[in-house]
Amino acid sequence: MEGFLPGPWWQIWFAVSFLFIAYGMYRLQNLTAEDRQALPLLAVAGAFIFVLSSLKLPSVTGSSSHPTGTGLAGVLFGPAITSLLALIVLLYQAIFLAHGGLTTLGANVFSMGIAGPFAAWLVYRAGSRIGLNVVATMFAAATLADLTTYLVTSLQLALAFPAAAGGVPASFLAFGAIFALTQVPIAIMEGAVTALIFKYIVTMRGDILVRLRVIPQATMQRLQKVMQ
């Protein structure tokens, strides 16, 4: 929440996140120049992040548990562009919904908009390389994106508030254990919802996924025959 992270930590996370967001703006310019038809899908991915991340449950003092919705965008557009979408969502939520804060914006963007989507991107790419079912791989990617977000959040809190006995490692374990009570079931549910939406996109606009290099053309043709 606003003002929860002490200095210099909130400044550090701002600086780190700024680098990713700047690269995300560059990647977004290239995307809009190459394929304007991908913009509606980009808007859907941004709206998905906004809706899911607005559903929050109180968790650790000064924080909350909620779906993130960033796994879908991370797979479709990569973590750089997703960091920009997360920035827009988190800024709106901080100003109008009292969810998060402005001084903690950098930390929240890094955990939810960078670390989580990067994990989703890695998992999906690895699953695609070894030929796993793309919908199942999306489920795993979205689930792990959510869990990664909260592992990073636990680390951010541990660095800012190390335990008197055990320091940062002990604090990380304590924060992570508390988050796990709510976040593990939330992550599984988010993975299932994301996989269903991804399956719908494959069925309705598979051509865009091919152009975005999310699914190869040959794989897409096989999928669409099975899903018809």
Buried/exposed 120-145: b ≥16 CB within 10 Å, e otherwise: bbbbbeebbeeeeebeebbbbbbbbb
Q: Read out DSSP for 90-149?
A: HHHHHHHS--S-STTHHHHIIIIIIIHHHHHHHHHHHHHHTT--HHHHHHHHHHHHHHHH
Q: Which candidate, 97, 10, 17, 15, places its Cα nearest to that of 53?
A: 97
Domain regions of the chain by residue span: 9-227
pLDDT tens for 48-57 read 999 999 887 7
Confidence (pTM): 0.92
The predicted pLDDT at position 228 comes to 60
Residue pLDDT, tens place only, 191-222 = 999 999 999 999 888 899 999 999 988 888 88
Q: What is the CATH number of domain 9-227?
A: 1.10.1760.20
pLDDT over 90 (residue 227): no
Residue 35: its pLDDT value, please?
85
Separation between Cα atoms, residue 132 and residue 140, nearest integer Å: 11
